[in-house]
Amino acid sequence: MAKQKTILFLCTGNYYRSRFAEVLFVSVAKKMGLPWNASSRGLALERGVNNVGPMATAAIRPLESMGVRDAERCGRSPASVTMEELEQADVIIALKHAEHLPLLQERFPAFAERVEFWHVDDAPEALTLIESKIMDLMARLLGGGGEAPRHEAIEAAPSSEAPKKLLTAKVGRETAGRRGKGVTTVFDLPLDEDALKELAAKLKQRCGTGGTVKDGRIEIQGDQRERIVSELEKMGFKVKRVGG
């Protein structure tokens, strides 16, 4: 059995962005059978003077809507990161380059070059972007055989370069035997049934239509190929179109 590794998510108050990332990552990693755990901490809890309760309800509700419930992780109070936690983490991800690099340079300068920086503002749309980033991260971990992503300090401008090793999803169209009601299919992904169902739920939501998981593949109602290719690429998948 592979030794479990840890990703440490950092934000300012450990109340909204990093907590959402932690809980979602743990849920998806467990469903995918990845030997990875996650924790999250804050770099400047004193700035969260208006935070009420252990975790933002605006982060808990979207998790619950996805069927993700973790009373222990959602119920703990925000916590400040320690030197020991930084040293023990296999991967460190800070949620906002412009916001968190100065804090790291001030408080933990030795780790500023070890952190992967995302570009997620503390705003309502943050959770959708974090969800996409988590799927990108999963693709890297799966594509690398469970190895840790390379530590790299990202420049201030978001990188448009795709991960070097991506999961390839095949996207096609099927109409035979469906009385003219075709479906868009997504297949050949090395994911278990739970992970496929989770991915299918995201695709159905983003396409605004129904669908199912059958025989190891996702079927989405209608000709949704263009939209699904776009959404999968946003999640970090490499996509290959098959058929007409």
Is the pLDDT assigned to residue 159 strictly greater than 50?
no
pLDDT for 151 equals 46
Question: Mind listing the pLDDT tens digit for each residue in 166-199?
Answer: 578 899 988 876 666 789 999 988 777 877 888 8
Query: 47-57 pLDDT, tens per residue?
Result: 988 899 999 99
Provide the mean pLDDT of the chain.
85
Give the pLDDT score at 145: 47
The proportion of the chain whose per-residue pLDDT surpasses 70, expressed as a percent, equals: 87
pTM here is 0.64
Please indicate whether the domains covering 5-143 and 168-241 agree at the CATH topology level: no
Under DSSP, is residue 240 helix (H, G, I), strand (E, B) or coil? strand
In this predicted structure, what is the pLDDT of residue 153? 37
User: 191-243: per-residue pLDDT in tens?
Assistant: 778 778 888 888 888 888 899 998 889 999 999 999 999 888 877 678 889 87
Tell me how far apart the terminal alpha carbons of the chain are, to the nearest angstrom: 42
What pairs with residue 96 in β-bridges?
119
158, pLDDT greater than 50:
no
Q: Identify the CATH homologous superfamily for domain 168-241.
A: SUI1-like domain (3.30.780.10)
**Torsional class of 34: left (φ above 0), alpha (ψ -120 to 50), beta (otherwise):** beta
The arithmetic mean of pLDDT across residues 60-65, rounded, is 94
d(CA 193, CA 32): 9
How far is residue 142's CA from residue 172's CA, in Å, rounded to a whole number?
23
What is the predicted pLDDT for the residue at 205? 85
At 48 the pLDDT is: 87
- Nearest alpha carbon to residue 37 among 64, 7, 71: 7
Topology (CATH) of 5-143: Rossmann fold (3.40.50)
Is pLDDT of 38 > 90? yes
Residues 219 and 213 sit within 8 Å (Cβ to Cβ) = yes
Encode pLDDT of 79-113 as tens digits.
999 999 999 999 999 999 999 999 999 999 999 98
Which has the minimum average pLDDT: 28-37, 124-133, 147-156, 174-183? 147-156
* Beta-strand runs (E) in the chain: 5-11, 36-42, 91-94, 115-117, 168-174, 183-187, 211-214, 217-221, 238-241
Domain limits of the chain? 5-143, 168-241
